[in-house]
Chain A
């Protein structure tokens, strides 16, 4: 009986968690710290590795560190938003006297106290992929400027859009930093605001194929005239495409997305996605390790605040005045499994 009660309680909690804690496909971050010579160990704290983006970021950071002859301590959140695991991991890393920590924070504020504790011990903390709030909480951040990424696809969509645009917004929880940045960036690039009449509707996804499909189906049911689809990431775009295809509307709607995963770039090549903004997780990890290296060598701290690791628009239908690369270029530079 006791066990079933615990089960019931856990369940209730779990159901609400599932409602709020879902993963987006945006990046992770890392940070490193250190001071002098001898054995250098850095900590790498990632988000849930079930997402290939975070896996790529972790591997890139680790191999860059290994190339410098450093040791690494690794930890990752179990599920999206799992900052508790990250806090524990950082505490362990402090105890193990790492020189630097590369952190992809699961939450912008929950990690502030433990990051402060680490920095008070002289550990350099660099966040990658996402930022703390305030951003000065960490020594530096290397991340995709998600607003800029959103803006790129917004501008491209505007330039490619039909005369009477009807826009669907397939979002991820907007309290998530990258998700909010992409959403706002898209609107800014398109030159509209939330509530603009050209937005037919918006729906929340969990950043996965099947939730993208359901969300698109629901919007299409109410608004069969949708012809521009903003998606939070490429799996959602894939799901949206299935929904459009099932209704025979795939040719009538343009889908834009963010990520630049190899599978997503392939979808651009196959015409499933019109344009996507590629981000560069490997570069984030590499930049973080370079900054740590510099700090360990001569004590120079990296530039505080957001250091953009860059975004590139990938499309096979370029528009005037907007720099872009083809899907073939994208397949050379993408991340994740091809």
Chain B
């Protein structure tokens, strides 16, 4: 039963549990026709889980969903699409080498073909033109190659592709659609979103840019720890209000007693001096000292991940300098830094996991020299080392001959941490070390990092979007915004709330 006055989207009492964790705890979420509804929440708040429930990827434990008044079965992606729900992710999935027209056609319907099956390109072009014009995208040429488009044009094409039948679309979910967009282009996206809303489409707008919420959205829902903590009209709210609600009001008092003030006065071991690099860093400076755990926080695009890419030699240093022990490193990269005692652990699993090799081999690969004695590789010594490390870091199952791809994410992650700690680096740079790791594993990994800093004097640079991790372990926390270090928190100032607030603070 479809009625005109029914909400575009209605989710009721959604509960989703994962082993050891309740990701969604009875979430109600309603989007009216023609409404732009912002969905906010920090990392791990349940935002992405909720969208995955809607898309059919996750099957919720309880709850129900209706689109334009019709009940929707969960876990069925095709039914979701047929009901008129479209979801656009940050990684928008366009093929760079194809034209706009070909991208609009990717996986959507069939080409208009003449006799012998030849595509009638003239008709296709006219249809694409009409479709783009209809959405107010007259500036995009259907024949243009997607690779040559600006960031916002690509997003517009992705949305246009999703709106294959404008009359049938009820709900459009934009999942961080603006994250990759430069400030000045965001207005173009807003125009398109408003055009769609004016036609009665319910828009769910997921973002972490709070000023966008205030500008664009009609209503806002904030999730925290899997529950709705705020759901109301945006007009009465300020950016600061939102930041406070997202962070939660409880003051964190974790481990603050453990933060020794003296630790931040050790000798500088790794420094960035006015670094301009890659697409994100625009003159960032920081100093990492011996024996401290220094957190680096910031939203996607703020430069946090560019710091890691720079130290991996994956983004070019355009100006400024990287210094280790006071001496500039002309071409920072994995091997040049390794020689200076700087080890970098990438965030993505695909950059760490050597599939096809065993757990032991994955741990020892960073330095095989201890096993090269008397002209042959001492397999037994390697195995003994691996067994000891597996024991010490509680990697499960404790079978060092097991292929690494058979370990769970958290246990594999501990193995990669062990890989680097084993080489006793002076500086350990970690990107998202607890991403995808369960609660117990997270605590252990963080404990390992803190122990390395306290006991070995290792300087740890923790680049993380998990503010709980930062608050729990760091001696100092730097907050990056727009590619520069915007704030520094020390001692008692380091709370989850404060970090989140500064991450979202205006430029």
Q: Do A and B bind each other?
A: no
